[in-house]
Amino acid sequence: MPKKVDHEARRREISQALWRIASTRGLEGASLRDVAAEAGISLGRLQHYFRTKDEMLVFALRHIETLAQQRIRARIEALDGEPTPRDILRACLTGMLPLDEQSRIGFLVGVAHFHRAVHDPALRTDIRDGIPQLRGFFADQLRQATERGEVRPGRDADDEAMVLISLVDGLSTYILLDVHTPEKAVQLLDMQLDQLFDGPGRSDARTCE
């Protein structure tokens, strides 16, 4: 009987090789051959799973995002009691920051994807679809917070959600460039949340450290 190959597991193994390269020397100059060597397979075998570097980057980025979502979900589920909109937003936002090795690698893979997407409209699809979905989720949390009196009426939830996403993108870049420490980045994020959640019904307890 021929050995059954788990193709999805093999793709994840190749992605992990890509992550290792991202964490040590960056992906800008890395070729498919480099990734194949890191994964310990032939170039032909790698191209059986990914025909191009862009296909490999997209798969690796989606896999990293799935892992990040699982970590964020676990952090929210570990909170005591019913999580507030601020708890959920803070868990998501800190989960997007490169505060540990895995999230750092995820951000670096995202940077490589961004660099190629700037010059390739076809690669922008995930960003065009993903960011509005994330903004919508954050905006829903902010609307709930407004109904609870934690955010003052009159704030545009969609705009405020986009500000939070943009803030995390900027802070992530500064962490990697050693402009800010991870601790400072979290402090600045909390400062923005404090300014946003300034309604009379706000909760000052931070339960997602």
CATH of the domain at 72: 1.10.357.10
For residue 100, being part of any structural domain is answered with: yes
Cβ pair 193, 87 in contact under 8 A: no
What are the residues whose beta carbons fall under 8 Å from the beta carbon of 36, sequence distance 6 or more?
42, 43, 45, 46
Host domain of residue 150: 7-196
Determine the Cα–Cα distance for residues 80 and 25; give it in Å rounded to an integer: 41
The pLDDT assigned to 207 comes to: 44
pTM of the model: 0.81
How many Å is the Cα radius of gyration of the chain? 19
State whether the Cα torsion 74-77-78-83 is positive or negative. Answer: positive
For residue 209, being part of any structural domain is answered with: no
In one-letter notation, the amino acid at residue 179 is V
Residue 176 half-sphere exposure, CB side, CA atoms within 13 Å? 21
The pLDDT assigned to 145 comes to: 97
The pLDDT assigned to 203 comes to: 63
The pLDDT assigned to 204 comes to: 56
For residue 48, being part of any structural domain is answered with: yes
For residue 207, being part of any structural domain is answered with: no
pLDDT along the chain (209 residues), means of 10: 67 88 78 91 92 86 85 87 94 93 85 81 75 94 96 95 96 95 97 93 53
For residue 78, being part of any structural domain is answered with: yes
Query: Where do runs of H (alpha helix) occur along the chain?
Result: 7-24, 32-39, 43-49, 53-77, 85-96, 101-117, 125-147, 157-176, 182-196
